[in-house]
Amino acid sequence: MRGVRTVLAGGAAVVVLATGYAGLDVTGAVPGPLTTTPAPTAAPLPTAPGAQPPPQTPAPVLPTLDAGAPVPDPAALARAVGPLLTDPALGASVSASVVDARTGRSLLATAETVPRTPASTTKVLTAVAALRALGDTTRVQTRVVAGSTPDEVVLVAGGDVLLAAGAGDPDAVDGHAGLGDLAARTADSLRAAGRSTVAVRLDDGLFTGPATSPGWGPGDVGAGFVMPIAPLAVDEARLAAGEYAPRAPDPAAAAARLFAQALAADGITVLDAGAGPVVRVPAPAGAAVLASVSSATTAEQVEFMLTASDNTLAEVLARRVALATGRPGTFDDASAAVVEQVADLGVDVTGVQLQGASGLGRDTRIPARTLTDVLSLVASGEHPELGPVAAGLPVAGVSGTLLDRYDQPGTTAAAGVVRAKTGTLTGVSSLAGLLRDTDGRLLAFAVMSDSVVPGGSVSARRAQDRFATALAGCGCR
């Protein structure tokens, strides 16, 4: 999902403030028959199979969800969907939680408080924490400042790992800011000051501690699932085209070399021209800023992170949360900061243990009920800044990590209806999200399996998709 574009993420949040869960559907944040505008996440989404394309302008009177839509009867719901949780494809360790998103009332609870390995459904917590701690409109800057001597400039990392190598694209999230633009602006500033020769230094001290987690698999970086975590990178340090390309072992240094080369191409004589080892120095306090570029907003990055299930961006956002709350920018502090932010929203985090913020950490544990409580809070409208979480969840059969799902027998009816975060590791399959049942009631759900048999990931995902489809099709009264 590289190159996903995100537009005006804050729009969903505004509607949630005014109308609560009904507004999520009207804005397209929760897809379904009432959707009247394109979903605010990523590029314009293709129409779900069998659905009619939404009009490009809203109707004069927007239909809304019926606040009086009946709540499913828990006993009827259990009869309808409970047997699906015994599918052998899910393995022996299964948790499920379904709650009424409007009230938070539990409708189905199967081992819902048992902490399980969540894989990438962890990113739901990370997204909420980032929006709460950082705000939805904040951006990070990559700056070049004057060095401690007249012949030095310092490239200062600010937390943007989605930089483009050349020009930035203001309509993009991945590549919103460009390293080439930063070099051109720096060259202009240097020439204006009568300077033509500099040495480029790097200050990437924003994050501290190990760059990789002991919970990651030994091949995760080499396989391109994540980069060593740093506060600066071009295209998340990919060494080749493609989402799962190997990553540079030192992302910030690789970006600094590219910057030096771009600066030289802009007519500035650069000592070593980016070919030698990168010299790291802290930027002088109060140093004059020569040039800067800014990332996409936090809301746009959160949407991108959820839709594409971007592990690197999740870890970087969590480190920003740690720094914003007075902690160091380490794996452990980022994990603790995410849990703290979720707890401060009133969510019960008993049993939650994070090993990083992406879900790659094998020692991460989250109960299913924590996921549904968070999703219910997102949908409630009580915290409008959390609207981009709903907007960023992939849509069944339409976008992100659900693009190629819900095309099997027993699942096609839910294409375009279910919006959920996926989670997959070896032996682990999870799905957590929002859907509207046939009576118009918005439900939050989570189904987690962490003892899937070897080679059984596809079967487990299909079993979970059948569960979500049955839930969406059940008025259950």
Tell me the CA distances in angstroms from 342 to 257, 268, 330, 363, one per residue in order: 38, 48, 18, 19
Q: Given the residues 95, 123, 449, 457, select the one marked as catalytic.
A: 123
Please answer whether residues 38 and 44 qualify as being in contact, where contact means their C-beta atoms are separated by less than 8 angstroms: yes
Pairing mode, strands 106-110 and 94-100: antiparallel
Length of the chain measured in residues: 477
Rounded Cα distance, 311 and 361, in Å: 11
Q: Which of 341, 304, 310, 306 is nearest to 326 (CA)?
A: 341
* Count of H-run helices and E-run strands, the chain: 12, 13
Pair of tokens at residue 201: 């230094």
Tokens (6 digits) for 14: 């505004």
From 95, 97, 213, 309, the catalytic residue: 309
In angstroms, the CA 336 to CA 466 distance is 34
Asked if 309 is an active-site residue, the reply is: yes
User: Which is catalytic among the residues 97, 120, 213, 430?
Assistant: 120
CA–CA dist 115, 368 (Å, integer): 7
- 99 CB-near residues (< 8 Å, 6+ apart): 105, 106, 107, 369, 372, 373, 376, 443, 444, 445
Active site residue 120: yes
Which residues are marked as active site? 120, 123, 309
